[in-house]
Structure 1
Amino acid sequence: MINRIGRTLALSATAHVPHTDVAQKAKDFTTDQEVRWCPGCGDYVILATIRSFLPELGLKRENMMFVSGIGCSSRFPYYLDTYGVHSIHGRAPAIATGLAVTRPDLSVWVVTGDGDALSIGGNHLIHALRRNVNLTILLFNNRIYGLTKGQYSPTSEVGKVTKSTPLGSVDHPFNTLSLALGAEATFAARALDSDRKGLTEVLRAAAAHRGTSFVEIFQDCPIFNDGSFDVLRKEGAEQRLIPLTHGEPIVFGNAGEYCVVRAGFGLKVVETANVDRNEIVVHDAHTDDPDYAYALSRLSDQDLTHTVTGVLRSVVRDTYDDAVRRQNDLARERDPVDEGSLQRLLTGHDTWTV
């Protein structure tokens, strides 16, 4: 759908991707490759969840592309029976951008980790988000470098003792969702690897969004950072997790004893019994106000006392790849060329004879 100034509105992410009439199952997305992660790694359950979810999309597998960088998570293309690229450290968003621009018939996904995406790949990540390229980025955050055997990462907590920080890290970690929203992400969400229902709901929303969908997945590394998210899985987790549902009041706890209210220009957590019901914030993931989603992300802290999950933001904005293709079409209309003529390209306007 194009409005009067030529901008794409309300198209689904897969509007131009061929669908299949054949019912698919998780086994259709399973390759013959042996899955090789450490026993207990959170990647196993994420892989199983994604394999179970992909049939919902009903897309032809040959029109799905998974691009990864370097890291434990980046083995994903080997284990999904779609097309895939195991690419360069930190550069997966750049390669995925090229695919999304040149091949609108592809559903393009990026699988990356906190070290891959937020260290060497930080620049590529923020520019993909800023441009709003039509792709889905899954960032597995285990707060450690797992593949290279346990160095601290850009999301490790202050004081984290690792092989590279034997006296404890002095770096202040990224709030990953705040980073994404600061880069003008049109879709930002978070899920836990162990919460298959919540992760599937987030994946469903991300896959439907046209533009860059950014999904952070908290993922356990049992070898080098075991139990880093246990407080969000075990007894008492309900007091820490702040699940978001569009159109619903933000209330959490075993019996809804905590809620989120406005506090100046931001948000804060208070006891529900101490406020009027109409003071409780009703979650609006589709608001054009970027400050609201950013304030939600700031409720999450590095010690996991409060952790927001679900979709923080999902708004419509023109995508980079749609805009590039429209620009190319306009250029061809203004100066029609025989696209098959390599000779014209070589001896065109910018050549001369000596």
Structure 2
Amino acid sequence: MNDATPIPTTTAKDWASDQEVRWCPGCGDYAVLKAVQRTMPDLGVAREKTVFISGIGCSSRFPYYMSTYGFHTIHGRAPAFATGVKLANPELDVWIITGDGDALSIGGNHTMHVIRRNLDTQILLFNNEIYGLTKGQYSPTSRIGTRSPSTPFGSVDRPVNPCMFALGSGARFIARGIDVHKNLPDVLKAAHAHKGASFVEIYQNCIVYNDDVFAAFTQKQNAPHAQLWLQAGEKLLFDGGAKGLALDTEALALKVVAGDDPAVIAHNPKNRGMAAMLIEMQQSEGFPVALGVIYEDPRPTFESAVIEQNAKAAEGKAPDLQKLVSKGQTWQVLKEPRAE
């Protein structure tokens, strides 16, 4: 298919493979899968130009369930495979599916580099704050006090904040969503529209090993006052508009004020300092959880820089494989005639 060929109209069913979906009943991964399958027809992309790449973990079964190209790869190394795929064929639409353990433990190094390089890919990090596939050990995002087979007395580790990790790694697009929330497709569309590495943390419930760990802001009765869905240019209001966020200029920090307070500020996704404040807001301190697009400030992508560099290096040169192979210290073994 070339660029002039129109992309066929598809439905969510067209993006679903014929494989039996095998996650625990009630797992949040089902909701994320359906959200992605519903979103793909709206993106204007072709299935044969779409690739889903995963590492190891519950979420990493994802490529089997998408009717696209895909790779189920090595623990933590999905970014390396994605980089190779994108450099080999920049026209492909590449998605990385990973979990909090896969991306931030063994894969922390690879996640950092794919973000700082700004490879044009969508990184969906399913965060359930636990290792589900290997039966409930604590993960890099598990909270202090988490009891698990590997921390029977409670974890004493300070958890990683995935979005802050991404911001510190140089991410130019950071967003958050919730597995079962109706707004997740909008977050996915925004991530896809961004040119560069789009980092999306998805709060995903593990019904077996960490059930309701996010209930304080995901349950219906808690959502209004505990969730802040961000929209560029709109005021930072939550709790039905009764509360808002303002900047405490003395402390250089956010503070909760009444919704009608003129000091309530509007969301500017290009403000990196404000993004850090929104990411680090703690419910325990009376703040809501920031959701939606937190930060977006595009810059040139990694693959575009590589393509440009290769083009300049090739200017005025004719391809000659034999000359390339013979370059440097080489020698040739000639077969001498056999003595009679």
TM-score over 0.5 for the pair: yes
1:7-46 equivalences in 2 (<5 Å): 20-46=6-32
User: What is the count of residue pairs matched by the alignment?
Assistant: 330
Residue 326 of structure 2 corresponds to 347
- For residues 23 and 101 of structure 2, the distance between their equivalents in structure 1, rounded to whole angstroms, comes to 17
Verify: 1:73 aligned to 2:59, yes or no.
yes
**Aligned pair partner of 2:49 in 34, 40, 63:** 63
**Aligned pair partner of 2:160 in 164, 169, 174:** 174
**Aligned pair partner of 2:197 in 212, 227, 230:** 212
- For residues 169 and 286 of structure 2, the distance between their equivalents in structure 1, rounded to whole angstroms, comes to 23
Residue 338 of structure 2 corresponds to none
Contact 1:75 1:86 in 2 (8 A): yes
**1:311-340 C-alpha deviation (Å, 9 max, x unpaired):** 0111120111100010001111154324xx
Alpha-carbon distance, 1:348 to partner: 2.3
Residue 96 of structure 1 corresponds to 82
Residue 111 of structure 1 corresponds to 97
- For residues 222 and 272 of structure 2, the distance between their equivalents in structure 1, rounded to whole angstroms, comes to 31
Alpha-carbon distance, 1:346 to partner: 1.5
Structure 1 pair 171–97 and aligned structure 2 pair: CA distance change class (3 A): same
**1:236-288 C-alpha deviation (Å, 9 max, x unpaired):** 2211111111010001003x222111124643231316x731x1111011x2x
- For residues 167 and 124 of structure 2, the distance between their equivalents in structure 1, rounded to whole angstroms, comes to 15
Residue 311 of structure 1 corresponds to 293
Residue 283 of structure 1 corresponds to 267
Structure 1 pair 241–232 and aligned structure 2 pair: CA distance change class (3 A): same
- For residues 144 and 154 of structure 1, the distance between their equivalents in structure 2, rounded to whole angstroms, comes to 8
Alpha-carbon distance, 1:300 to partner: 4.1
**1:110-160 C-alpha deviation (Å, 9 max, x unpaired):** 000000000000011111111111101000000000000000001111001
2:152 match: secondary structure: coil
Verify: 1:320 aligned to 2:302, yes or no.
yes
Contact 1:130 1:185 in 2 (8 A): yes
Alpha-carbon distance, 1:105 to partner: 1.3
Residue 246 of structure 1 corresponds to 232
Matching residue's letter, 2:234: E
1:333 match: secondary structure: coil
Structure 1 pair 102–301 and aligned structure 2 pair: CA distance change class (3 A): farther
**Aligned pair partner of 2:277 in 267, 284, 295:** 295
1:189 match: secondary structure: strand
Contact 1:260 1:267 in 2 (8 A): no
Q: Which has more radius of gyration?
A: 2
Alpha-carbon distance, 1:304 to partner: 9.2
Alpha-carbon distance, 1:43 to partner: 0.4
Comparing 238-247 and 130-139, the one that deviates more:
238-247
**Aligned pair partner of 2:117 in 94, 110, 131:** 131
1:110 match: secondary structure: strand
Verify: 1:263 aligned to 2:248, yes or no.
yes
Sequence identity (%): 46
Contact 1:258 1:269 in 2 (8 A): no
Matching residue's letter, 1:345: L
Residue 159 of structure 1 corresponds to 145
Matching residue's letter, 1:260: L
Structure 1 pair 19–112 and aligned structure 2 pair: CA distance change class (3 A): farther
1:191-210 equivalences in 2 (<5 Å): 191-196=177-182, 198-210=183-195
Alpha-carbon distance, 1:18 to partner: 7.7
Structure 1 pair 236–49 and aligned structure 2 pair: CA distance change class (3 A): same
**1:215-244 C-alpha deviation (Å, 9 max, x unpaired):** 000000000011111222221221111111
Verify: 1:233 aligned to 2:211, yes or no.
no
**1:16-64 C-alpha deviation (Å, 9 max, x unpaired):** 9787432100111111110000000000011011101101122221110
Structure 1 pair 130–185 and aligned structure 2 pair: CA distance change class (3 A): same
**Aligned pair partner of 1:53 in 36, 39, 57:** 39
Structure 1 pair 303–271 and aligned structure 2 pair: CA distance change class (3 A): closer
- For residues 33 and 129 of structure 1, the distance between their equivalents in structure 2, rounded to whole angstroms, comes to 31
Structure 1 pair 20–248 and aligned structure 2 pair: CA distance change class (3 A): same
